[in-house]
Amino acid sequence: MPEPKPRKPRKALLASGLVVLLGAGLAWLDPSYHSEHYASAVGERRLLALADGSQVEMDSGTRLSVSWHLRSRRVELQQGQALFDVSKAVFRPFQVHSGVAKISVLGTRFNVLRGADMLEVALLRGKVAVQATANPAQQLHLAPGQQVRVEQGRLQPLAAADLERITAWQRQRLVFARTPLSQALAQIQRYRVAVIELEGQGLADLSITGTFDTRNVETLLDLLPRILPVSLSRGPDGSVHIGLRVPGS
């Protein structure tokens, strides 16, 4: 009679089972195995070449981190603006997290601007899905030439994107087209360290139009009292205070 085959010890079976479960769990959790952190100084533009062939062009005063995961590639945009040119990898989708929204792509080119209380995504090429962090069920798919804003945690309706204006920062330009003064100052602020303060009611909605050089925002600030009914003063710390111009002054 043949001898019975030896049975594996129970401990060995349990250990192998745990390894299988752990591996499945890690795959589902999509763990990070490497991360990198980048920042551009005020007035600096920086081009990143990522290990997967993707490129990220960072605007002035931008901070982001890149993490490589088992099943995905992720960027956390902490502040500022960046243009992404993503290499296609079907099994490792590229994601951009920005606090109020998540952007998911396979291979595409898109611009992301993160402000203090808003996010703007504009698509140049390919396809992206933008999902509100506060409401994951709220998701929109963009086609080239479209943009979407996230305000107060909610996705706004899709709109046509003025790509020349949106990507003007790559050419060291700020382009305003009847832009509310508060929004224009928020963009100018990214190119200087000292704060700009808007003081007075009714000033935020004043509009400004024109194309300006990002390398010389001080000249632009000094120009404001000539084109708008505002006054401008500078503090010893470099801060700029913009108020309502007094009639006759």
Same-domain check for residues 36 and 155? yes
Same-domain check for residues 51 and 156? yes
Mean pLDDT over the full length of the chain: 88
38 domain-assigned: yes
Structural domain including 239 reads 172-244
Same-domain check for residues 54 and 142? yes
Q: For the chain, give the DSSP string.
A: -PPPPPPPPHHHHHHHHHHHHHHHHHHHH--EEEEEEEE--TT--EEEE-TTS-EEEE-TT-EEEEEEESS-EEEEEEEEEEEEEPPP-TTS-EEEE-SSEEEEESS-EEEEEE-SSEEEEEEEES-EEEEESS-TT-EEEE-TTEEEEEETTEEPPPEE--HHHHTGGGGTEEEEEEEEHHHHHHHHHTT-SS-EEE-STT-TT-EEEEEEEGGGHHHHHHHHHHHSSEEEEE-TTS-EEEEEPPTT-
Read off the pLDDT of residues 16-28 as tens digits, 9 standing for 90 and up.
544 444 444 444 5
- The pLDDT value recorded for residue 29 is 75
Same-domain check for residues 46 and 143? yes
- The pLDDT value recorded for residue 216 is 93
- The pLDDT value recorded for residue 20 is 43
Same-domain check for residues 37 and 155? yes
User: Which of the two residues, 137 and 102, has the higher pLDDT score?
Assistant: 102
- The pLDDT value recorded for residue 218 is 96
Same-domain check for residues 156 and 179? no
Q: Which of 134, 161, 188 is the last residue before a domain boundary?
A: 161
- Residues above pLDDT 70, as percent of the chain: 88
Residue 53 has pLDDT above 60, yes or no: yes
Going by pLDDT thresholds of 50, 70 and 90, the confidence category of residue 128 is very high
Same-domain check for residues 240 and 206? yes
- The pLDDT value recorded for residue 84 is 97
Q: What's the CATH code of the domain at 184? A: 3.55.50.30
Structural domains counted in the chain: 2
1 domain-assigned: no
Q: What's the CATH code of the domain at 107? A: 2.60.120.1440
